[in-house]
Chain A
Amino acid sequence: MKKFETFVALPLILAILATGCANSEVEQAEGIFIEGQSGADAETLNWILAADATSSSYVGHTMDRLVTYDNELNIVLHCLARDIETSADGLVYTITIRDDLKWSNGSPVTAEDYVYTLKNLMFSDWLNYNYKGDWQEEVDGDTIFVTPEAINDTTFTITRQTVYPEFVYTIYDLMPYPKHIATKYEGDIEAFTQAPEFNNLTYTGNLGPYRFEEWTRNDKYVVERNPEYYLGKDIGAPYFDKYIVKLFGTSATRQAALEAGDITYTGIEPEQARKFRNLEHVKVYTIPSGACTLLAYNQRANGWDGLKKKPVRQALSMAISKETICQSILLGFAEPAFSFIPASSPWYDGENVVKYGVGSLYDKQKAAELLYQEGYGAIKGDETIKATNEDGSPLKLTLATSTGSQVSEDMAFQIKHELSDLGIEVEIKLIPWATLLRQYVMNTVPDANQQPAFNNGPEAASEKPWDLILMGFTSDLLAPSGSDVFYTTEGGLNFFGYSSAEVDKLFSRARSKEALDKGMRQQIYAELSHAISEEQPVDFLIFSRVNSGFQKNVMGIEPGISMGYNYYLWHFE
């Protein structure tokens, strides 16, 4: 039987031999920065067609936008030669790009490329750009596009007919397509979608710190150092030979890769932060973010009637502790939210917001009394108040949230637990995101033949009834007035049916000529924050903080809300 044993052991011996042979080949990672990500891969590198953030971040390694922002949210010029000039009436924006930007064939990037991208691609009917709404305005009841015009090789203007003080931030994000290539595909969406130049980023020239090398779907995205990079050629930046985004199927294996030193950087889950802080070779940075989790109250016809009344919404918000969510679920890596503007935004005004769910405004007794006063409570034998429907029947609410996030699920159960103290029974529904949007969020007027939308007017209701929806949104730190789509009566994303004349008016002022004056805009935002935090159209729960783990030998990082703004200067010790 000895031969059996030898044969059984043979594969193991081979494996051990292979281990020894292979180690020398695996250890060649100097100069390569590997970022670990989990979640879905990018959908396309043809960025104008992209709807996901990953696609944009992949392209961002090879092409700069007009500006970026530092950790104090000041603009840092990239493709711009100088800051955008806005005319005194707030209608004309003059954009001057650098004169040393080049496409891969050596031809200069001109103002005409930017204007062409806007006029012939973003504003075209055949391409129907997903974010064209950012470039439209309402004039005399019509929706029209702004007007771009090339002045010379490096200067172009964009003219609006109505004032929108924060429109400049939309322009800052602009990237061009090369006119000399794009014209080949113009008008043919299928050919444009499949264009090899755009899907392989072969045109990006010196526009980004890296050049496209390889994209293995669901595995990795690889870019190589661009020695011609306009911001780096004089100083030798970027300093990594390659930058790789490696995708992992689970956060456990992604974090294990950082711990083992196989990758350079990745996000750290709250429950792992303490462990990684104690590792000698890893440095963890905790930074605030604009990612807000909120609880929307359905004020449409298919939601519980009580939610249409402000005191009832206030009562529910008063019964949910934001500190408990921050500490128990997010382990301290979050801060309570009170309005759509996060504390990290320059427009935040902490003194004017009403802070439901913390301090004296986290009070279940008061919450129960408020409900009772509004006719939604009954006094039990022990003198306590129990929330009920108006007819005294037990109150049951449906809370819907999307699947796939343990944090969201934990928060949903915490809310259920808190509301049960008021006598409210909450049924939790975990639904895939796309289904949640289609069946619960999008709405139509009953019996009307209309396309579902997020806000089809006050009479519209979603296909399935709901009372509370727990979901996340990212607030724009610099241009919060864009949140009007959520909180104004006719806002395109006001799926919960909230309506307040005061809030409508304040948003309108924030987007008017009056707000060109920054002091005035600050005051309008303060009033807006107060109104919304007091009205509670939704319960703003938390703004998350993000933990980023780096190998300790990465130098040049400036921790802060916009930590990656200078990443082309990062280097190994």
Chain B
Amino acid sequence: MKKSWLRDYIIKRLFYSVIIAWGILTITFVLVRAGPTSPADKYLANIAASGQDVSQVIASVEARYGVDKPILEQYADYMVNLFHGNWGWSFSTSMPVTELIKSHWIYSFQLILLSSLFAAILGILIGIYSAVKQYTKTDYIATFLSFIGISIPNFWLGVMLILVFSVKLGLFKTYYDTTLPLFSLANLHALILPIITLGTGMLAGYVRYTRSAMLDNLRKGFVTTARAKGLPERTVIGKHVFRNALLPLVTIIMFDLGSIVFGGAYLTEIVFGIPGLGQISFNAIFANDYPVVIAVTLIGTLLVLLVNLVTDITYTYLDPRIRYD
């Protein structure tokens, strides 16, 4: 029975996702193209900076960038190409957009995945420990450190980590080395500082949320009942309290995942020289490289929609009482 309504729900959500993605793609296209600057501007500015009169070449450069046609015609061309799997040519990097994304997504993916795991695992464990040991020295220290963790800008933290652990102690390279094999200890080693940089803020947040959610549940009657029944403390905490505290945590973790996909990872990529999608999209925005801007916006949108769907589905497993009409 559950399977049937859940399947219908997923199909409906996927359908809505396609509509939303198309809407965002269209809005992005219009915003990028209708702005005060032209995608050819940076290119023309470079020509001008070298002392050349650009008036002779403006028309041909705009034709090469495909911005000489009416915007509706450009949009129609873009959509037709998109349906044929052609995301366009990136003028700021001189390669097809699909190839650009294919060769760079993995750097963002590994950073986001490992940082999220680092933050979620450590944050939840410290949060649980802190709640269970409420008002002890450990709890005070964890609470104090989590406030600091939330407050530190990750850009600053990254630079400080480099100065201490790379420059002073020589334990890490100052930048991420893309020649390292992905599934190797050397790669994991190279990612330690970026993971700490990106994960610290999230980790601190998870400590606070977990502690708070655990304390809420620890005070509830069913905990007293479980203890009165003589259940071992580990079972009470792990099976009864933590499971109930998990629902709001899943929401927060998934929300964080969505937000770092859209920007949080960018600063970490910049500091450690990781050529991920964050850096690619940021540079594309500054270069007015609209095929890349639209593609990464679309990918980000799809990821957020997917994460939201997965979150909703996860709820139904964590709390079987939840049902979507």
Contacts and interface: CB of A to CB of B under 8 A. Distances in A.
Nearest to B121: A11
Contact of B51 (A4, A128, A482): A482
Interface string A6-36: 0110010011011101110110000000000
B271 A130 contact: no
B64 A189 contact: yes
A111 B251 CA distance: 68
B185 A253 contact: no
Contact of A437 (B48, B103, B185, B275): B48
Given A219-B275, A253-B271, A22 B186 contact: yes
A62 to B, nearest CB: 15
Contact of B175 (A5, A14, A248): A248
A11 B118 contact: yes
B143 interface: no
B240 interface: no
A250 interface: yes
A135 B167 CA distance: 50
A185 interface: no
A454 B271 contact: no
B125 to A, nearest CB: 5
A8 B175 contact: no
A437 B44 contact: yes
Contacts of B178: 216, 219-220
B4 interface: no
A41 B273 contact: no
Contacts of A11: 118, 121-122
Contacts of A474: 50-51
A22 B189 contact: yes
Interface string A247-287: 11110110011011010000000000000000000000000
A130 B283 contact: no
A199 interface: yes
A438 interface: yes
B188 interface: yes
B192 interface: yes
Nearest to B272: A253
A8 B93 CA distance: 43
Interface in B64-99: 64, 89, 91-95
Given A19-B171, A25-B186, A260-B167, A8 B162 contact: no
Contacts of B235: none
Interface stretch (A44-52, A529-537, A544-552): A44-52
Contact of A260 (B52, B128, B166): B166
A260 B37 CA distance: 41
Given A8-B125, A8-B126, A434 B288 contact: yes
A218 B118 contact: no
Taking residues whose C-beta sits less than 8 angstroms from the other chain, chain B's interface range is 35 or more
Interface string B137-181: 000000000000000000000010011001100111111011010
A40 B185 contact: no
Given A11-B121, A437-B48, A128 B57 contact: yes
Nearest to B41: A434
Given A249-B273, A453-B55, A22 B95 contact: no
Interface in A219-256: 219-220, 246-250, 252-253, 256
Given A217-B95, A482-B51, A4 B190 contact: no
B43 interface: yes
A131 interface: yes
A18 B270 contact: no
Contacts, number: 202
Interface in A430-446: 432-435, 437-439, 441
B241 to A, nearest CB: 14
B48 to A, nearest CB: 6
Interface in A467-485: 473-474, 476, 482-483, 485
B41 A130 contact: no
B269 A43 contact: no
Nearest to B181: A25
Contacts of A528: none
Contacts of A486: 51
Q: Name B's interface SS.
A: helix
A260 B174 contact: yes
Contacts of B121: 11
B279 interface: yes
A53 B279 CA distance: 21
Given A43-B43, A246-B273, A435 B60 contact: no
B275 A253 contact: no
A1 B275 CA distance: 41
A550 to B, nearest CB: 17
Contact of B270 (A133, A249, A435, A437): A249
Contacts of A432: 37
A216 B46 CA distance: 22
A253 B46 contact: no
Which of B95, B133, B175: most chain A CB closer than 10 A? B175
Interface string B195-223: 00000000000000000000000000000
Contacts of B45: 433-434, 437
B58 interface: yes
Contact of B55 (A8, A44, A193, A451): A451
Nearest to A125: B60
A146 to B, nearest CB: 16
Contacts of B100: 217
A163 to B, nearest CB: 21
B132 interface: yes
Given A18-B192, A43-B91, A248 B122 contact: no
A184 interface: no
A249 B192 contact: no
Given A1-B129, A11-B118, A133 B53 contact: yes
Contact of A43 (B54, B64, B92): B92
A218 B47 contact: no
A161 interface: no
A21 B95 contact: no
Contacts of B162: 253, 256
B274 to A, nearest CB: 8
Contacts of B305: none
Nearest to B40: A434
A118 to B, nearest CB: 17
B188 A454 contact: no
B287 interface: yes
A128 B132 CA distance: 72
Contacts of A438: 36-38, 41
A128 B125 CA distance: 63
Contacts of A452: 55
Contacts of A247: 273
B13 interface: no
B269 to A, nearest CB: 7
22 contacts: A4-B129, A8-B122, A11-B121, A11-B122, A18-B185, A19-B192, A21-B185, A22-B188, A22-B189, A26-B173, A26-B177, A43-B92, A217-B95, A249-B269, A250-B270, A257-B174, A438-B38, A452-B55, A473-B51, A485-B51, A492-B55, A493-B52
The 5 closest A-B pairs by CB, nearest first: A492-B53, A249-B270, A22-B189, A219-B275, A128-B60
Given A17-B185, A217-B104, 14 more contacts: A22-B188, A43-B93, A43-B94, A43-B287, A132-B56, A216-B275, A250-B271, A253-B175, A438-B38, A441-B48, A453-B54, A476-B51, A485-B51, A492-B53
Interface of A: 1, 4-5, 7-8, 11, 14-15, 17-19, 21-23, 25-26, 40-41, 43-46, 51-53, 128, 130-134, 189, 193-194, 199, 216-220, 246-250, 252-253, 256-257, 259-260, 262, 432-435, 437-439, 441, 451-455, 473-474, 476, 482-483, 485-486, 492-493
Interface of B: 36-38, 41-58, 60-61, 64, 89, 91-95, 100, 103-104, 118, 121-122, 125-126, 128-129, 132-133, 159, 162-163, 166-167, 170-175, 177-178, 180, 185-186, 188-190, 192, 269-273, 275, 279-280, 283, 286-288
